[in-house]
Amino acid sequence: MTLLRDPTHAAPDRWLELPERERVRWGDVVWASTDLDPDDQARMGKHMIVWGPVQSVVRGKEVFLNFFDRRGAVILDEECQAAVQQRVEQLGIDWAEGWVDGWGVIVYGVTRPLKNGTRVSIRPKDPRWVAVRRIPGSSRP
């Protein structure tokens, strides 16, 4: 999926409707996990589409899908987790060891700083807002 490689191919004049922001340009909504910045107040507490490779999976009451450079994490609550886990199993991804190689995530959710203040979380309210996909060109099957 090209969005996992580079979302900038989208037409800059494309618009999206978001709950608290009304109409916004595509480029202001879709951004890479490497661009996550908890100090960017204009993007915190907003609905965003964030994409990037998953580095690890940390399980607990909530599941954390940590992005590659660990600047942020997708946080799945229990309700979301069950549906996403079912899809992950259908895709044949093994999250048991906590390490994910060659897979990425695209998620639509609200961005918030994590407790330590140096990273960002994005929390989807609905499991349909999470897409797990093979990264194009990944060497692993």
Identify the band that residue 9 occupies on the pLDDT scale cut at 50, 70 and 90.
low
Q: Which amino acid is at 117?
A: G
Least confident of 15-19, 35-39, 78-82, 127-131: 15-19
Q: What is the mean pLDDT of residues 44-69?
A: 83
Q: What is the mean pLDDT of residues 18-43?
A: 80
Name the nearest CA neighbour of 64 among 55, 49, 118: 55
Measured CA to CA in angstroms, residue 108 lies from 51, 52, 72 at distances of 9, 12, 14
**Maximum CA extent, the chain:** 42
Q: Is the pLDDT at 70 greater than 80, yes or no?
A: no
Query: What is the structure's pLDDT at 124?
Result: 93
Residue 128 burial (CB count, 10 A):
11
Query: What is the structure's pLDDT at 10?
Result: 56
Average pLDDT, the chain: 80
- Distance (Å, whole) CA 93 – CA 103: 8
Q: What does DSSP assign to residue 26?
A: G
Could you tell me which residues are beta bridge partners of residue 23?
17
- Distance (Å, whole) CA 79 – CA 68: 24
Q: What does DSSP assign to residue 129?
A: G
Least confident of 3-17, 46-60, 101-115: 3-17
φ and ψ of 17, to 5 deg = -100, 125
Q: Is the pLDDT at 43 greater than 80, yes or no?
A: yes
* Residue predicted with more confidence, 28 or 126: 126
Cα torsion through 96, 93, 86, 113, rounded to 10: 70
Residues above pLDDT 90, as percent of the chain: 14
State pTM to two decimals: 0.80
Strands 30-32 and 47-58: parallel
Classify 8 as helix, strand or coil: helix
Q: Is the pLDDT at 111 greater than 70, yes or no?
A: yes
